[in-house]
């Protein structure tokens, strides 16, 4: 089905399983391609995103152009139902992150974990490796979403030869960071993960 627009913000009407299939397809297309394909952005939309997008047209544009927009939370599922364009289920960021880790472990894709407080991404990476044995963590780095750090971060990701970039700078900073760097990001797929590293690190 076509996406539903909640107050102008796109939400794809997909099950967790369909999301995973799309992620798998993005990664395998990138792997098969002889030239680097543009980075695909993944966004998980919760009600706070929708409210923030009302005030921030760049954030709204960022979400609406993404390769995949997931309904993160029951509030979005209820809004879609109210609009009579229901989405089958909620697909949370943390669930997607763990599914993605399993997919990466299985297919040999490398994950880079960017953001959160120093040391947190390292622990989150270890937790993901426990959940998805064999997962390769290409690198971790706290850094910050500040403009003057962008070049150095892109260089780190490039050197790490990652396939997937997970960015934990909170919304909207993380999603806008990915959006403005899309054409320069040397990964197949990039996703904002909010507080997921903190959650995993406990
Ligand atoms: N964060 C960061 N740098 C910043 C701002 C935030 O690394 O400049 C991290 C913060 O440490 C936390 C995550 O971004 O790990 C944001 O989590 P939060 O739960 O606030 O995000 P949400 O899930 O609400 O988008």
Domain 14-30+37-201 has CATH 3.40.50: yes
pLDDT for 20 equals: 97
Q: Which long-range contacts (CB under 8 A, 24 or more apart) does 60-66 make?
A: 60/8, 60/9, 61/179, 62/172, 62/175, 62/176, 62/178, 62/179, 63/9, 63/10, 63/175, 64/8, 64/9, 64/10, 65/41, 65/179, 66/10, 66/40, 66/41, 66/42
- Any idea where the domains of the chain sit in the sequence? 14-30+37-201
Pocket test for ligand 1, best of 170, 172, 192, 196 (most atoms within 8 A of CB): 170
Q: What interface predicted TM-score (ipTM) does this complex get? A: 0.95
pLDDT for 46 equals: 97
What are the C-alpha distances in Å from 46 to residues 116, 135, 167?
Answer: 20, 28, 17
- State which residues of the chain have pLDDT below 70: none
Residues in contact with ligand 1 by the CB-under-6-Å rule are 115-117, 144-145, 168-171, 173, 194-195, 197-198
Pocket test for ligand 1, best of 48, 97, 114, 195 (most atoms within 8 A of CB): 195
| CA–centroid distance, residue 194 to ligand 1 (Å) | 5
- Please identify, by atom number, the ligand 1 atom nearest to the C-alpha of residue 145: 8
Contacts (Cβ under 8 Å, ≥6 apart) of 123: 197, 200, 201, 202
Pocket test for ligand 1, best of 95, 115, 167 (most atoms within 8 A of CB): 115
pLDDT tens digits for range 105-150: 999 999 999 999 999 999 999 999 999 999 999 999 999 999 999 9
């Amino acid at each position: 089905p076509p996406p539903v627009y909640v107050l102008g913000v796109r939400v794809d009407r997909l099950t967790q399983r369909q999301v995973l299939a799309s992620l798998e397809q993005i990664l395998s297309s990138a792997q098969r391609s002889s030239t680097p394909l543009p980075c695909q952005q993944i966004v998980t939309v919760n009600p706070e995103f929708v409210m923030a997008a009302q005030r921030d047209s760049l954030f709204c544009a960022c979400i609406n152009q993404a390769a995949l927009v997931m309904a993160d939370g029951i509030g979005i599922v209820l809004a879609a139902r109210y609009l009579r364009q229901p989405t089958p289920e909620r697909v949370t960021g943390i669930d997607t992150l763990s599914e993605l880790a399993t997919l990466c472990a299985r297919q040999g894709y490398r994950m880079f974990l960017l953001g959160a407080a120093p040391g947190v991404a390292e622990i989150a990476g270890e937790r993901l490796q426990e959940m998805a044995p064999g997962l390769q963590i290409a690198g971790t780095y706290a850094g910050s979403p500040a403009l003057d750090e962008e070049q150095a971060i892109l260089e780190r990701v490039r050197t790490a030869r990652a396939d997937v970039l997970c960015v934990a700078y909170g919304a909207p900073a993380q999603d806008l960071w990915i959006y403005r760097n899309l054409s320069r990001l040397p990964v197949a797929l990039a996703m904002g993960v909010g507080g997921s590293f903190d959650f995993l690190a406990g």
